[in-house]
Amino acid sequence: MARRFFGTDGVRGVVGEMLTADLVERLGRAATEWSGADRVFVGRDTRASGPELEEALVTGIRGAAATAVLGGVLPTPAVALSPLDLGVVISASHNPPEYNGVKFFDAHGRKLSDEAEEEIEALLDAPSSNGGGVERDDAAARDYLTYVLDHFGADLSGLRVAVDCANGAYSEIAPAAFAQLGAEVLPLFVSPDGTNINDGCGATDTAALEREVLAGGFDLGIAFDGDGDRMLAVDERGEPVDGDQILAILALDLGVDLVAVTEMTNHGFHSLMKERGIRVVTTDVGDRYVLEALWREGGLLGGEQSGHVVYLRDHVSGDGLAAALLLCAALRGRSVSEAAAVMPRWAQSKQNVRVASKELTQPIREAVARLNGEFGGSGRVVVRPSGTEPLIRVLVEAQNASAAGEACASLAALVQEELG
């Protein structure tokens, strides 16, 4: 049975359109029935729609005769670490404020498989039963911070860091973490008002952070997304450092023998890993596919260019704060630019094309095949639908920057013509 509502990362959409309180209630009831959980842990990010959708979710959980344990505003990895049989996050991650969503974690803190999501959708119309209750866990954020500091923290005395929290779930937690480890911290975008999450800030827009790092002479900048499962960096020159570079730094520092990445990962990363004898497993785009590969292969480290970094020693999912602390520890007296320079980078040109339909047409497929043939071993083309927004993402990677830019512009124009 094809999934109707679940995408690459839970159920997500514009609130009041695809994502309604009624749907969230039904998802809460169905997922609780599916899991057999007696207690369900719930967190949310800072979106204005969060409290209303939380209330709907609680109604659904209680309708399955279970108790909803409310942790309040929490980063997604805090919910993944919950010891309960089912964890739920009300968040649209990196998406704009008008979006929201629901993400589920099983008893092991793992995101659900396609098959599990299909089984939940089959229960959406199951009748509600009486019972259930509500509890509040006011210590959840504090307990999460303590856990991350204990397992991933290092002495950061003397480090000057600007921390962009995207007006999201890390707004209080992340600056406190860096300060407790001895760093000098400049908190940025830590005043969520329900409408400003990911708005001109955070991992989806590091321009403001780049300016602050350069103007203030900071050693680095850290940018989280709204729910805290992504992290990107800015070096001491104000230059962005993407997930591929962060993953390269960590792979060498942590001494792993395997890394899982997605098809968007830069060719330069693959070259470096081959040179250092580290096996690379490549998956479809989406951190849950990276996680599945790590579980299957027995690996610990993986991630995406977009900033998902997964390290499964003492964790179960991607965690932006844990990744940021690991990066800081991995510098070992070097500047960020020096540490990142270990990875050669092929030129990449990317465009996101807003479309009416996300079904790739034959002319688009033929153009992709033709360009990949023309590039041969000197470049590649990836055109894929976004899993969370009405966008087609175009990536062209090549040894020659101008060739990458020209091919990307041509493909984006074709996509707009065919699907716009």
Read off the pLDDT of residues 326-383 as tens digits, 9 standing for 90 and up. Answer: 999 999 999 999 999 999 998 889 899 999 999 999 999 999 999 988 888 788 898 9
User: What per-residue confidence (pLDDT) applies to 301?
Assistant: 98
User: What is the bridge-based pairing of β-strands 6-7 and 160-164?
Assistant: unpaired
pLDDT averaged over every residue in the chain: 95
Q: For the chain, what is the domain count?
A: 3
- Which amino acids are annotated catalytic? 93
Q: Is residue 221 part of a domain?
A: yes
Q: Is residue 210 part of a domain?
A: yes
Give the other-Cβ count within 10 Å of 307's Cβ.
Answer: 29
Domain stops at, among 138, 154, 188:
138
Is the pLDDT confidence value at 130 over 80? no
Is the pLDDT confidence value at 165 over 90? yes
Burial of 176 (0-12, 13-18, 19+ CB in 10 A): middle
Length of the chain: 420
Co-location of 265 and 336 in the same domain: yes
User: What per-residue confidence (pLDDT) applies to 386?
Assistant: 86
287 Cβ neighbours under 8 A, 6+ residues apart: 9, 111, 229, 303, 304, 308, 310, 317, 318
User: What per-residue confidence (pLDDT) applies to 62?
Assistant: 97
Co-location of 315 and 172 in the same domain: yes
Tokens 């109707």, residue? 4
User: What per-residue confidence (pLDDT) applies to 420?
Assistant: 82
Co-location of 365 and 411 in the same domain: yes
Q: Sign of the CA dihedral 294, 27, 92, 322?
A: negative
Question: In the structure, what pLDDT confidence band is assigned to residue 178 with cuts at 50, 70 and 90?
Answer: very high
Is the pLDDT confidence value at 278 over 90? yes
User: What per-residue confidence (pLDDT) applies to 268?
Assistant: 92
Is the pLDDT confidence value at 75 over 90? yes
Q: How far is CA 6 from the centre of its chain?
A: 16
User: What per-residue confidence (pLDDT) applies to 403?
Assistant: 87
Domain with residue 12: its CATH number is 3.40.120.10
139 Cβ neighbours under 8 A, 6+ residues apart: none
Tokens 């709907």, residue? 56
Q: Is residue 1 part of a domain?
A: no
Domain stops at, among 120, 138, 156:
138
402: its two tokens: 């101008």
User: What per-residue confidence (pLDDT) applies to 191?
Assistant: 98
Q: Is residue 316 part of a domain?
A: yes
End-to-end CA distance of the chain: 29
Co-location of 226 and 289 in the same domain: yes
User: What per-residue confidence (pLDDT) applies to 2?
Assistant: 73
Across the range 55-65, mean pLDDT stands at 97
User: What per-residue confidence (pLDDT) applies to 329?
Assistant: 97
Q: Hey, is 291 helix, strand or coil? A: helix
Q: Is residue 381 part of a domain?
A: yes
Domain stops at, among 138, 172, 198:
138
Burial 89-105 (b: 16+ CB within 10 A, else e): bbbbbbbebbbbbbbbb
Co-location of 202 and 306 in the same domain: yes
Contact 131, 62 (CB under 8 A): yes
Co-location of 169 and 99 in the same domain: no
Q: Is residue 212 part of a domain?
A: yes
Q: Is residue 66 part of a domain?
A: yes
User: What is the bridge-based pairing of β-strands 309-311 and 301-303?
Assistant: antiparallel
Co-location of 331 and 192 in the same domain: yes
Co-location of 161 and 174 in the same domain: yes
Co-location of 275 and 200 in the same domain: yes
Contact 363, 310 (CB under 8 A): no
Co-location of 112 and 150 in the same domain: no
**How far is Cα 239 from Cα 242, in angstroms, rounded to an integer?**
10
Is the pLDDT confidence value at 163 over 80? yes
User: What per-residue confidence (pLDDT) applies to 131?
Assistant: 85
Domain with residue 374: its CATH number is 3.30.310.50
Instruction: Looking at 255-380, list the stretches that DSSP marks H as alpha helix, in order from N- to C-terminal side.
Output: 267-275, 287-297, 320-331, 336-340, 362-375
Across the range 149-175, mean pLDDT stands at 98
Across the range 106-127, mean pLDDT stands at 94
Co-location of 281 and 413 in the same domain: no
Question: In the structure, what pLDDT confidence band is assigned to residue 22 with cuts at 50, 70 and 90?
Answer: very high
**In the chain, % of residues over pLDDT 90:** 86
Is the pLDDT confidence value at 250 over 90? yes
Question: In the structure, what pLDDT confidence band is assigned to residue 394 with cuts at 50, 70 and 90?
Answer: very high
281: its two tokens: 């497993």
CA-nearest of 5, 81, 66, 4 to 34 is 66
Range of the domain at 351: 347-419
**In the chain, % of residues over pLDDT 70:** 100
Tell me the Ramachandran region of residue 174: left when phi exceeds 0, alpha when psi lies from -120 to 50, beta otherwise: alpha
User: What per-residue confidence (pLDDT) applies to 1?
Assistant: 60
CA-nearest of 319, 333, 391 to 95 is 391
Co-location of 169 and 315 in the same domain: yes
**How far is Cα 384 from Cα 356, in angstroms, rounded to an integer?**
14
**How far is Cα 333 from Cα 261, in angstroms, rounded to an integer?**
27
